[in-house]
Structure 1
Amino acid sequence: MKMIIIIICYSVFISSILILMKIYQKIWILLKPFWFSRHSIFSGLLFFSILAMIYLLVEIQVWLNNWNSDFFNALEKIDANKLKNLVFWFIGVLAILIIVQVNKSWLIKLLNIRWRKWLTEYYLNLWLKDNQYYYYLLEHKDQQIDNPDQRIAEDIRMFIDRFLALTLGFIQSFSMLVTFIIVLWNVSGSLEFELFNQQWKVKGSLVYCVFIFVLINSFIAHFIGKKIRYLNREKQKSEANFRTALINQQTNAETLVLDEENQNKQKNELNQLFYSIKENWHRLMNCQRNLEYWQVLHQRISTVIPLFLLIPIFIAGKINIGGLMKARQAFMLVANNLSWFINKYDDLAEFAAIVDRLYQFHIAIEKKHHNPTQIGEKIVVKKGEILLPNNINLLKNINISLKKGCWLYIKGRSGIGKTTLLKTIMGVWPYAKGLFIKPEKIYMVTQNSYIPTGTLADVLRFPSQGNICENILISTLIKVNLAHLIPNLNAHHQWQKILSSGEKQRIGIARVLLKNPEWLLLDEATSHLDEESALTLLKLLKQSYPQMSVLVVSHQNQIAQQVADSIYQLEADQ
């Protein structure tokens, strides 16, 4: 008897992990951060409470199975008193069943949101720590599989949803399976037949029958639905690409609306992306339809097989109507729970695709990047060499030393790597060799200053929300020729969309005036301004803070040379 249970349980285990056997290591890596943290203690108690409720539900199902036998036996004997008692007992147990089932669902949802909150914060911290998001986008900018927004927002949610549903569902099915195999063994009696001139007697025949029946069906289901995992992965990828393209279209609406040709091109790209979604959807739905044909057939056959097998025993009078119904229900429960792999194949395939995507993201953002820049008292580059992510040499033999209070203009043709040099000095470009030193407190203004949503005062103070008084903000706006914005200083808007490119660059210079850094890097910080305005702002910086040390990168050569104390020429083959 024990051997039978071990064999059947083992078969269930093998079948259920068939699709997961290539991803169990990935699942383990994704589970460890939460379940091995101190925050998991209460969640562990929730999980064991849910398991206790699952066990109680299994016991209630056993009682209902016995009740089913007693009810049909009483019905066959027309025993009114027993039928009455059974009805009252059924109402009481049904009330307990509803309470346990509803609260189990509530606890699962509580565990779900606790886990999701922790895991989302965990990956957000990894994503933002040490500029990891920048390196990730840098290394995946030419690929269409990144979509980090989906991986943090959607894949984490779906991973937790599917994991809890599949894991708890498997545990419940496994518990039901072990329990009702014993019940089925006891009620199925012995199958007697003659073969090869020898009389055979097989005890617990229905257990063997259900095992063979489900095992064959499981392999057939795997054969039919083995493409579903790949198609689900493609579905998530195509959906994410389409959503990203829509966001890009909204972000660049002003550029697109001015060029009808660009609008048509963007429309064609969106249509093509959605066509990929549609094509993948058709392939997925066809595969799911074929699998569903087999699932429905399997479920229907499992309801009649026990009746066909027990009819001879029933006709021989070895089992009454209650026993027949009890055996039928036990067979159906064993077949249903033994068929967990068949019934959940589609969900398992989708879960595997989610694990693949989240694991890729996990590995990418845990990758360590070398920071070539050291902290020192001034900006120094000796025998510097800058590479591209693919290890191709961009610049070499760079030697720079910026003195205190001096302005150094970095000159070179477009695309040679001037901006990348500034990024390396800042310590955010990891593909470099040689000696790079920067002061601990250094500030950089890029061509496109970040403009957050909020009040204009918040925009000026960004990233610090310090107590810079309103009068200083107003005087700074006047200095950078943005006096017309003073009435809206405390207005809350999406300033990124309201301000022009030139106004955003003036905001960038205003922040420098407010911050007063000792060391400053300017990367095309006035490129959207006319030459007179650009020169006025740069002279304003130099006159306001004569002790400030500045590295300037600009294509406005005449302007940069007028404010620079010295010039460093970059050459590709230097």
Structure 2
Amino acid sequence: MTVLHALAATLSRAGRLARAAASGPDWWRGAALYAAVLALNFVGVWVSIRLIAWNKAFFDALGALDGQTALRQVGVFFLLVSASAGSWLAADWLRKRLLILWRGQLTAQALDLWLGGWAYWQLRPGFGAVPVENPDQRVAEDCRKFVEGLLEFTLDLISGAVALVSFVALLWSLSTFALPACFAGQVTLGGLMQLASAFSQVTTALSWFIFFNRDPAGFVAVCERLDGLMAAARAPAPLPGAPQAILRTASPDGALHLQGLRLATPDGRWLPALPDCTIRPGARVWNSGASGEGKTTLLAAIGGIWLSGEGRIAVPEARFLTLPAGAPVFAEGLAAAACYPEDPATQGSAKLNAVLTRLGLGHRLDTADEAALSGLSMGERQRLGLARAALLRPDWLVMDEATSALDPAFEADLMTWLSAELP
């Protein structure tokens, strides 16, 4: 019973993952490719059946010393072999196209679950009840391994079953007439070769079920890892005892309201209580406190990615931009990093140059894209973050030690300039 339960669980996981891989806006393309590969595999089975019949015609011609018929059968043989090779090559190409399509769709769904709902944040080590190890490897490698195993098993299983039934039926029909002919001494050389070829094809088709070399344990492990990742990302489970009673609502008046807010660590330890407050648009608020009192945690709660705690946060429907201590950089270049997530073309080269020059980064615009971002110091990264704020012009700007690496005089100068740039 335990084995049956394990098999049922594996089939259930594989079914969920297969639906995820085959669904999406291009589901019809995947279905068409799958059907085309099966059809080409069936063409290969048909060619094998025709080759069995060819054995009788060719060897009967040899036995009768009929050179003209034998030569004609040689031409038929080359046509059949060409059809077999062509169908195999086409099926292999279409199978690889299907692999790329389904792997892409499965990877996209896994990434959407992992990144779209902040699951990567909620399931960090020490934050979630279900640890998720090596999520990047699960998405990159396990998606590929699952789709490869799924296609290899299902396509080969269906094709092998059809081939086995076809060859057994053919061998049965041949043996029905061959046995009386054998006792009557009327079996020709072609008949013997036809029977031998049919028996060989039955043996080959049956051997697939015996010597199928896909590692079942590896496929089961891939299904468990990938399905576990997607299940955990759909509903991140907190650590036992961690309160998650923060009510996040839309602000009725465009201001940010904190009411009865008290934050907790993922393991349930309460942080110092926060006073109720209302922050109006255009206000400048400085949040100070000792290390470990929850300053960054408060910003994460306002952003909606910190769930441990209780109270109410009313957030205005406006554009927020959060600048951490170290601004992210991208290989696309300095302009792309300064305008992310927008296209640098929307800002205009003159404005982009002016902002980066004001922040002391204009000299890097003349270098190659990747070289412009290599070796950026922490201070330069933070200035790059301020450039993002000036270019994107958000309604609300949240800064978490975003100027900690700048000297006080330069920091004051840039903050004065940024205040004038932003509404």
TM-score bucket of the superposed structures, by smaller chain = 0.7 to 0.9
For the residues of structure 2 that align with 1:89 and 1:492, how far apart are their CA atoms? 62
With over 3 angstroms needed to count, the CA separation of the structure-2 counterparts of 1:144 and 1:436, relative to structure 1, is: closer
Note if contact 1:402-1:408 (Cα within 8 Å) is conserved in structure 2.
no
Structure 1 residues 440-449 or 338-347, which shifts more?
338-347
Deviation at 1:315, TM superposition (A): 10
With over 3 angstroms needed to count, the CA separation of the structure-2 counterparts of 1:414 and 1:64, relative to structure 1, is: same
1:376-431 deviations in whole A, cap 9, x for unaligned?
A: 22222222232344x42342632241443544333333233221111001112233
**Among 179, 200, 219, the residue aligned to 1:351:** 219
1:104-135 deviations in whole A, cap 9, x for unaligned?
A: 22332333333334444444444442334433
For the residues of structure 2 that align with 1:113 and 1:343, how far apart are their CA atoms? 27
1:385 is matched with which residue? Answer: 262
2:144 is matched with which residue? Answer: 157
1:304 is matched with which residue? Answer: none
1:50 is matched with which residue? Answer: 37
For the residues of structure 1 that align with 2:131 and 2:262, how far apart are their CA atoms? 30
1:338 is matched with which residue? Answer: 206
Note if contact 1:372-1:427 (Cα within 8 Å) is conserved in structure 2.
no
1:34-63 deviations in whole A, cap 9, x for unaligned?
A: 545453224323332332322222122112
1:457 is matched with which residue? Answer: 335
Structure 1 SS opposite 2:399: strand
Note if contact 2:262-2:273 (Cα within 8 Å) is conserved in structure 1.
yes
With over 3 angstroms needed to count, the CA separation of the structure-2 counterparts of 1:413 and 1:33, relative to structure 1, is: same
2:241 is matched with which residue? Answer: none
With over 3 angstroms needed to count, the CA separation of the structure-2 counterparts of 1:325 and 1:137, relative to structure 1, is: farther
1:214 is matched with which residue? Answer: none
For the residues of structure 2 that align with 1:174 and 1:140, how far apart are their CA atoms? 48
Structure 2 SS opposite 1:395: coil
With over 3 angstroms needed to count, the CA separation of the structure-2 counterparts of 1:501 and 1:375, relative to structure 1, is: same
Residue 123 of structure 2 corresponds to residue 103 of structure 1? no
Structure 1 SS opposite 2:290: coil
Instruction: Tell me the matched-pair count.
Output: 406
With over 3 angstroms needed to count, the CA separation of the structure-2 counterparts of 1:490 and 1:365, relative to structure 1, is: farther
Structure 1 residues 352-361 or 70-79, which shifts more?
70-79
1:367 is matched with which residue? Answer: 235
2:153 is matched with which residue? Answer: 166
1:84 is matched with which residue? Answer: 71
With over 3 angstroms needed to count, the CA separation of the structure-2 counterparts of 1:533 and 1:58, relative to structure 1, is: same
**Among 185, 197, 216, the residue aligned to 2:172:** 185
Identity %: 29
With over 3 angstroms needed to count, the CA separation of the structure-2 counterparts of 1:184 and 1:134, relative to structure 1, is: same
Deviation at 1:175, TM superposition (A): 0.8
Give the letter aligned to residue 332 of structure 1: S
Deviation at 1:514, TM superposition (A): 3.9
Structure 2 SS opposite 1:457: helix
Give the letter aligned to residue 161 of structure 2: F
Give the letter aligned to residue 222 of structure 2: I
Deviation at 1:501, TM superposition (A): 0.5
For the residues of structure 2 that align with 1:400 and 1:48, how far apart are their CA atoms? 62
For the residues of structure 1 that align with 2:325 and 2:309, how far apart are their CA atoms? 23
Structure 1 residues 438-447 or 316-325, which shifts more?
316-325
For the residues of structure 2 that align with 1:29 and 1:354, how far apart are their CA atoms? 13
For the residues of structure 2 that align with 1:459 and 1:54, how far apart are their CA atoms? 49
1:61 is matched with which residue? Answer: 48
1:40 is matched with which residue? Answer: 27
1:295-338 deviations in whole A, cap 9, x for unaligned?
A: xxxxxxxxxxxxxxx9xx98996966555544443333323322
With over 3 angstroms needed to count, the CA separation of the structure-2 counterparts of 1:354 and 1:327, relative to structure 1, is: farther
Structure 2: any 5+ residue segments left out of the alignment? Answer: 238-243
Q: How do 1:271-420 residues align onto structure 2 when only pairs under 5 Å count? A: 322-367=190-235, 372-376=247-251, 377-389=254-266, 391-395=267-271, 397-404=273-280, 405-420=282-297
The two structures have a TM-score, normalised by structure 1, of 0.61
For the residues of structure 2 that align with 1:21 and 1:324, how far apart are their CA atoms? 46
For the residues of structure 1 that align with 2:131 and 2:5, how far apart are their CA atoms? 30
Structure 1 residues 422-431 or 112-121, which shifts more?
112-121
Note if contact 1:26-1:356 (Cα within 8 Å) is conserved in structure 2.
yes
1:30 is matched with which residue? Answer: 17
Note if contact 2:258-2:278 (Cα within 8 Å) is conserved in structure 1.
no
Deviation at 1:446, TM superposition (A): 0.9
With over 3 angstroms needed to count, the CA separation of the structure-2 counterparts of 1:421 and 1:323, relative to structure 1, is: same
C-alpha RMSD over aligned residues: 3.8
Structure 2 SS opposite 1:410: coil
Note if contact 1:382-1:397 (Cα within 8 Å) is conserved in structure 2.
no
Q: How do 1:13-28 residues align onto structure 2 when only pairs under 5 Å count? A: 22-28=9-15
Structure 2 SS opposite 1:26: helix
1:501 is matched with which residue? Answer: 378
Q: How do 1:533-572 residues align onto structure 2 when only pairs under 5 Å count? A: 533-538=410-415, 540-541=417-418, 544=420
For the residues of structure 1 that align with 2:382 and 2:76, how far apart are their CA atoms? 78
For the residues of structure 1 that align with 2:196 and 2:337, how far apart are their CA atoms? 72
Note if contact 2:260-2:311 (Cα within 8 Å) is conserved in structure 1.
yes
With over 3 angstroms needed to count, the CA separation of the structure-2 counterparts of 1:473 and 1:345, relative to structure 1, is: closer
Deviation at 1:178, TM superposition (A): 0.5
Note if contact 1:19-1:349 (Cα within 8 Å) is conserved in structure 2.
no
For the residues of structure 2 that align with 1:420 and 1:465, how far apart are their CA atoms? 31
Deviation at 1:525, TM superposition (A): 1.4
**Among 308, 323, 332, the residue aligned to 1:445:** 323
With over 3 angstroms needed to count, the CA separation of the structure-2 counterparts of 1:444 and 1:145, relative to structure 1, is: closer
Give the letter aligned to residue 437 of structure 1: A
